[in-house]
Structure 1
Amino acid sequence: MPILDRRTFVRASIAGATALTPVGRVMAQTGSLQDVGSLFVASPKPTIYTAREIVTLDPARPAAEAVAVVDGRILWVGSLEDTVAILGDQSYEVDTTFADHVIVPGFVSQHDHPVLAALSMSSEILSIEDWVLPTGTVPAVKDKQDFIDRLTAAVAARSDPDEPVLTWGYHPSFYGPLTRAELDAISTTRPILVWGRSCHEFFLNTATLERGGLTQEAYDAFSASAGEQSSFEDGHFWEQGMFAVLPYIATMAASPERLQAGLEIVRDYMHSKGITIGNEPGGILSRPVQDGVNAVFSSPDMPFRWSFMPDGKSLVGMYDDDAQVIAETEKLASWYGGMTSTTSKQAKLFADGAIYSQRMQVREPYLDGHSGEWMMDRDVFERAFRIYWDAGYQIHIHVNGDEGLNRVLDTLEANLRRNPRYDHRTVIAHFAVSGADQVSRIRKLGAIVSGNPYYVTALSDQYGEVGLGPERANEMVRLGDLSRAGVRWSLHSDMPMAPADPLFLMWCAVNRLTTSGRVAGSDQRVTVEEALRGITIEAAYSLKLEDEIGTISPGKLANLTILDANPLSVDAMEIRNIGVWGTVMEGRMLPAGEPERKASLELPGGPQVKQEFTEAALHHALTVAHGVH
């Protein structure tokens, strides 16, 4: 009997349709697990993990009591008796660490932004929601006065009188306008930078403007669009105005040290939430900033892998030649290594504006009559889509409004007719405001959806009164309609637009409870199993990784999330409260809460290099997350 190559074995699906593999042939001839076990003598020593419950999400074996792991992959899943039998005479060990726990497929963070999260999470967080971080819990801001009081206390607590204070999370739709005069009342000497919850705007005090050298004369030299989207008198700069002010404030808002500290917070936070693999849609196009991220995220002791999807919007804007766009996209693969990588033949584009700034393009007007924004002009969007479509790329598109969705679906349909493609899996990312009529069209065109259910929890109450009105606010992220239509969908957080907490995303999608405790759009709720699939196998499918991760199946990577309870059997309201023991990531047992290695982020050069680095880091954070241009 020949020895079966280990890689062939771990990629074989032993259960069911295995007749074409060596394992399958032996089983077909003898029906004996013992005979199969004789094939594995040369394999490395497997570990058999047992647990109170194992939820596989594999239809062939939905539940199990043991999973055998070897060389970072899943060898077998089933009863302990069968698992031991299939190993035959091969040496193995049984690990009972998870005897009182539940094993589920490793959580997939399908769409998050490490740099944006790092800079916001390392600031003075004063936001519309609680943030429970490894560094402590930051409670939500109650109202504007609470914001002023807490910011005043944060400024007073600084021992260095010259240290700038950066705070993130203020939301004018919740707390009202914020002016330079109000910030000056807190301090006229210490720079105060208030970064809006949408990440699309800054509110600055006079000390910040003076230290940065932004005079009235310099402000008057802004471009027409930047001048229209800013107010020097109020110290308020948004959209184009925000980018115009960026060179003046970059070193006060960001630094290599802040980025490193923030990335470590994000790393530990995501690990504590059971994440085993993640993705940044819209990879960094500044090599020094990517090197800074790699200093933390590429480390061999990172508790999860992270991939970066090329920022197609920026790349198309940089090159007039279509072939060069693809060539430069492919070159980005050399920027990664270790625990980071680039996605294979995938790119991110943008349709309309962000939901937190209420700049999505909608079919019916906003209550106050303001307008949405297009993040890419139609001709640029259509060119970018065509370039990546014809190159065989999977295209992920940031789109929040129903009018934005019309543009995406029109473009997709035109390209399908011009150059038909099978299994293109075009991803509609965010999916905030949509119409029921658009769901059937999504299915017809073969698109899939990555939705953010936190929009309902955090924003439905307020947006029902400000901006959208109750009907549109209640029906945001209509996952129920997608399920009924047979459209595949996954869940994401877009951290820091929502906490990168997969169990919390499940809770949001299943319950659709708002901050006031009411249910918004009850018919858009989904089942618990659908929600669990949304953070595992469907998230993997959206990244074309379903053959490697997403279920606990023989041959796949041994990525497991270890929980205190089974999310499929607890009360739906308790899903968010399930404890996370940690993960098994490609066979490594990684308990949550254990300190990780501190990275060393070295940035050679003087102040000019630091200025360029911080500008590039902020530019990436602000553009890639929401397509601000």
Structure 2
Amino acid sequence: MINRLSAIFVLACMLAPGQVVAQQTPTLQDFAGRLAAREGLTTIYVARTFLTMDPNKPRAEAIAVRGGEFVAVGTRAECEAAAGKDAKVDSTFEGKVVIAGFVEQHVHPVLAALTMNTKVISIEDWDAIDGFSPAVREEAGYRERLREALAGHKDNKTPFVTWGYHHYFHGAMSRETLNRMAPDVPVIVWHRSAHEVFLNDAALKLTGIDEALIKGLGESARAQASLPEGHFYEQGMLAIHPRVAPYMASAEQFREGLEFSKTYYHRNGITLACEPGGFVSKPMQDAINAAYSDDATPFNHYFIGDGKSFFAIKPNDAASLLAETRKVEGWGKGRTAYLANQVKLFTDGAIYSQLMQMKGGYTDGHHGAWIVDPPSFDFMFQTYWDAGYQIHIHNNGDAGLDVVLSSIEEAMRRKPRKDHRTVLVHFGFAQPEQVRRWGELGGIVSSNPYYVTALAGRYAKLGIGPERSRNMVPMGDVVENGVSFSFHSDMPMAPAKPLQLVWAAVNRLTAEGEVAGPEHRVTLDQALKAVTLDAAYSVRMEGRVGSITVGKDANLTVLEQDPYEVHPAKIKDIPVWGTMLEGRLQPVAAATRAAAAPRGRGPGLADTVSDLRVEHAAIEQLARLIGYTCSD
């Protein structure tokens, strides 16, 4: 996301070196699981059925687990024979449907921690940190909710931050509008895309954003910043966000946000999560590690470096780009790790902002935007390609996809590679011919099918038009061309709920209740693979996770119903009982109780960002780097 680099960098400064986040206390069940692994004990689990996601054995009635791995899969008799007479039979899963552990190919835990800490007023329902926030998809309702929230904000010295506003649902927003609604309170309205912000006078004064600052930005950033409107988007937002981010959350709120995301992922069955396009701050990584790395964390979390961040350090220097990328690859700890030789790049703007680069433009005459200008993108792409990296590319528009295709075709002409698995990420709009070329070039897709649910109905009327909207996220073309694909939520761009992604792809129902592009629906088999085995394949983890197969990590997601037996419209409502991670049982109910229990503050955490202004110089340095990059 465009804002993530600066937001994360600033938040990194909220934790001084050596400070840690309070970690979860191991349970008796944790110790039992570790003991079984250490002693080499074997446990046979029986269930109503196991959905293995292994094409050679799609279903099983039992599995055997030893040392955190699957050692047998099949009938109960087969598992007992393989496990030996000392094996223990466990009936925990009796009557339940167990599938290979869900793999979330693309989430943003820091961004989720920040957005869920704001006053959420969005176009869909959210379980936010301060409670359930129902959807509002029309202007009058949004304005009323915003007025109510502002009325409840009693401290005029503390900024009011809200996330979820969307101009195509909630009407126009401006600096003057916010001045009228809250003349004395600094207000930051964070767009649903997370790629835009609106600020009122009080917020501009608080953050020190003025005409002199805007004049000092690069050309592209200046074009995407409007001080009279208080509106900053894409490169413009990235440039000013170091000034805004310190006011979006306190250190304590940030810690709580990360802990919230842990519970959120777990209760939705996620056993492996990945963030492509991470950050370049070691203190920030240490803060993430403190929240996610302890053994009690119910999933493994992987990171992929953010190429544009490394490029900003020394633009157009290939040696520096690779050296900076490799520096971060050892920053993980425990249940967090970087995926070596993988990197995330960016082309065009956000689909939620309608800033993707589109062939034929937009029906209302506005224009898309580049997160990274094409020449800089191509330099990064060719550099990483030649170094043998797997490249994940944020792209939403079909005109943006032309830039990606041009780069990969040039790379394949110069230096052909097999099994490069270049990933087209998000996949908002693409022409059939583009998809065909992508498949022929060896590319794969990680799409967000929730775009159809959230946006296709409204975009048919505004900006995009009915024909292009019905072909949003064109998975039918992907299937027709035999391209490997996975799904992701990009949370908070969609809730991190794998079953909801499956539901969205199988049904393609819009929020308005219509089916958009039925020819692009996928089968349930394909959709479940897209959140398990094929998602693992997209990050080169299929040898370790993604299916219930002998020798792989014993990761499971336990469901109360069989997805094949419920009505397709009900798939997203299937309850998740819990998960297994490397042989350790993890019921959701127990984790939810633990999360709800009172917790002490992390030792040494600052109460507010304002207590750590000593890092301001570092923030300003990043802003200068961003301005330089945007002018390139």
TM (norm. structure 2) is 0.87
Report the Cα distance in structure 2 between the residues aligned to 1:453 and 1:618, rounded to whole angstroms: 34
- The alpha carbon displacement at 1:53 in A equals 1.1
Report the Cα distance in structure 2 between the residues aligned to 1:130 and 1:219, rounded to whole angstroms: 36
The match for 1:176 is: 171
Aligned partner (choices 146, 150, 156) of residue 155 of structure 1? 150
Contact 1:288 1:613 in 2 (8 A): no
The match for 1:608 is: 613
Aligned partner (choices 480, 485, 488) of residue 481 of structure 2? 485
The match for 1:389 is: 385
Aligned partner (choices 263, 269, 294) of residue 264 of structure 2? 269
Contact 1:239 1:628 in 2 (8 A): no
Contact 2:218 2:631 in 1 (8 A): no
Deviates more, 1:430-439 or 1:498-507: 430-439
Aligned partner (choices 415, 419, 433) of residue 419 of structure 1? 415
Aligned partner (choices 88, 92, 106) of residue 87 of structure 2? 92
- The alpha carbon displacement at 1:352 in A equals 1.5
Amino acid at match of 1:70: R
Contact 1:427 1:448 in 2 (8 A): yes
- The alpha carbon displacement at 1:188 in A equals 2.0
Amino acid at match of 2:94: A
Cα distance change on mapping 1:532 and 1:618 into 2, 3 Å: farther
Report the Cα distance in structure 1 between the residues aligned to 2:60 and 2:621, rounded to whole angstroms: 48
Q: Deviations over 1:251-271 (max 9, x none)?
A: 222332222121111111111
> Secondary structure of 1:508's match?
helix
Cα distance change on mapping 1:482 and 1:249 into 2, 3 Å: closer
The match for 1:82 is: 78
Amino acid at match of 1:568: Y
Number of aligned residues:
584
The match for 2:594 is: 595
Report the Cα distance in structure 1 between the residues aligned to 2:196 and 2:160, rounded to whole angstroms: 16
Report the Cα distance in structure 2 between the residues aligned to 1:467 and 1:590, rounded to whole angstroms: 45
Deviates more, 1:125-134 or 1:268-277: 125-134
Contact 2:117 2:249 in 1 (8 A): no
Residue 436 (structure 2) pairs with residue 455 (structure 1) = no
> Secondary structure of 1:250's match?
helix
Residue 371 (structure 2) pairs with residue 375 (structure 1) = yes
> Secondary structure of 2:340's match?
coil
Cα distance change on mapping 1:43 and 1:506 into 2, 3 Å: same
Aligned partner (choices 297, 306, 309) of residue 302 of structure 1? 297
Cα distance change on mapping 1:599 and 1:332 into 2, 3 Å: farther
Aligned partner (choices 323, 332, 343) of residue 336 of structure 1? 332
Cα distance change on mapping 1:135 and 1:78 into 2, 3 Å: farther
The match for 2:9 is: none
> Secondary structure of 1:51's match?
strand
Report the Cα distance in structure 1 between the residues aligned to 2:620 and 2:135, rounded to whole angstroms: 29
- The alpha carbon displacement at 1:363 in A equals 1.6
Q: Which runs of 5+ in 1 are unaligned?
A: 1-41
> Secondary structure of 1:233's match?
coil
Report the Cα distance in structure 1 between the residues aligned to 2:227 and 2:89, rounded to whole angstroms: 66
The match for 2:284 is: 289
Contact 1:250 1:611 in 2 (8 A): no
Structure 2 counterparts to residues 132-211 of structure 1, below 5 A: 132-133=127-128, 136-211=131-206
- The alpha carbon displacement at 1:628 in A equals 13
Q: Deviations over 1:156-194 (max 9, x none)?
A: 323444332110010012122112333233322222211
Deviates more, 1:531-540 or 1:429-438: 429-438
Contact 2:235 2:371 in 1 (8 A): no
Report the Cα distance in structure 1 between the residues aligned to 2:45 and 2:325, rounded to whole angstroms: 41
Residue 581 (structure 2) pairs with residue 585 (structure 1) = yes
- The alpha carbon displacement at 1:55 in A equals 0.6
- The alpha carbon displacement at 1:602 in A equals 4.4
The match for 1:532 is: 528
Residue 406 (structure 2) pairs with residue 410 (structure 1) = yes
Cα distance change on mapping 1:296 and 1:490 into 2, 3 Å: same
The match for 1:35 is: none
Deviates more, 1:55-64 or 1:508-517: 55-64
Report the Cα distance in structure 2 between the residues aligned to 1:159 and 1:462, rounded to whole angstroms: 35
Deviates more, 1:59-68 or 1:147-156: 147-156
Report the Cα distance in structure 2 between the residues aligned to 1:123 and 1:628, rounded to whole angstroms: 32
The match for 1:476 is: 472
Identity of aligned residues (%): 46
> Secondary structure of 1:556's match?
coil
The match for 2:432 is: 436
- The alpha carbon displacement at 1:244 in A equals 4.4
- The alpha carbon displacement at 1:470 in A equals 0.7
Report the Cα distance in structure 1 between the residues aligned to 2:163 and 2:129, rounded to whole angstroms: 18
Cα distance change on mapping 1:77 and 1:619 into 2, 3 Å: farther
> Secondary structure of 1:209's match?
helix
Deviates more, 1:246-255 or 1:439-448: 246-255
Amino acid at match of 1:501: K
The match for 1:15 is: none
Report the Cα distance in structure 2 between the residues aligned to 1:364 and 1:526, rounded to whole angstroms: 28
Contact 2:100 2:546 in 1 (8 A): yes
- The alpha carbon displacement at 1:299 in A equals 2.1
Structure 2 counterparts to residues 40-55 of structure 1, below 5 A: 44-55=40-51
Amino acid at match of 1:96: S
Q: Deviations over 1:560-600 (max 9, x none)?
A: 00001111222111100000011001111111124258783
Report the Cα distance in structure 1 between the residues aligned to 2:506 and 2:235, rounded to whole angstroms: 38
Deviates more, 1:138-147 or 1:162-171: 138-147
- The alpha carbon displacement at 1:98 in A equals 1.1
- The alpha carbon displacement at 1:97 in A equals 1.1
Report the Cα distance in structure 2 between the residues aligned to 1:97 and 1:505, rounded to whole angstroms: 27
Amino acid at match of 1:595: A
Aligned partner (choices 313, 319, 325) of residue 321 of structure 2? 325
Amino acid at match of 2:417: R
Report the Cα distance in structure 1 between the residues aligned to 2:560 and 2:406, rounded to whole angstroms: 46
Report the Cα distance in structure 2 between the residues aligned to 1:628 and 1:46, rounded to whole angstroms: 60
Cα distance change on mapping 1:576 and 1:181 into 2, 3 Å: same
Report the Cα distance in structure 1 between the residues aligned to 2:239 and 2:312, rounded to whole angstroms: 19
Aligned partner (choices 570, 575, 595) of residue 574 of structure 1? 570
Amino acid at match of 1:235: G
Contact 2:507 2:521 in 1 (8 A): yes
Report the Cα distance in structure 2 between the residues aligned to 1:130 and 1:615, rounded to whole angstroms: 36
Residue 549 (structure 2) pairs with residue 553 (structure 1) = yes
Report the Cα distance in structure 2 between the residues aligned to 1:357 and 1:112, rounded to whole angstroms: 19
Q: Deviations over 1:323-362 (max 9, x none)?
A: 3322322221221101100012111111211111111111
Cα distance change on mapping 1:446 and 1:503 into 2, 3 Å: same
Q: Deviations over 1:270-329 (max 9, x none)?
A: 111000001110121112222222221112211111111011222133234423322322
CA RMSD in angstroms comes to: 2.7
The match for 1:38 is: none
> Secondary structure of 1:421's match?
coil
The match for 1:33 is: none
> Secondary structure of 1:348's match?
strand
> Secondary structure of 2:541's match?
coil
Deviates more, 1:348-357 or 1:185-194: 185-194
> Secondary structure of 2:594's match?
coil
Cα distance change on mapping 1:343 and 1:438 into 2, 3 Å: same
The match for 1:256 is: 251
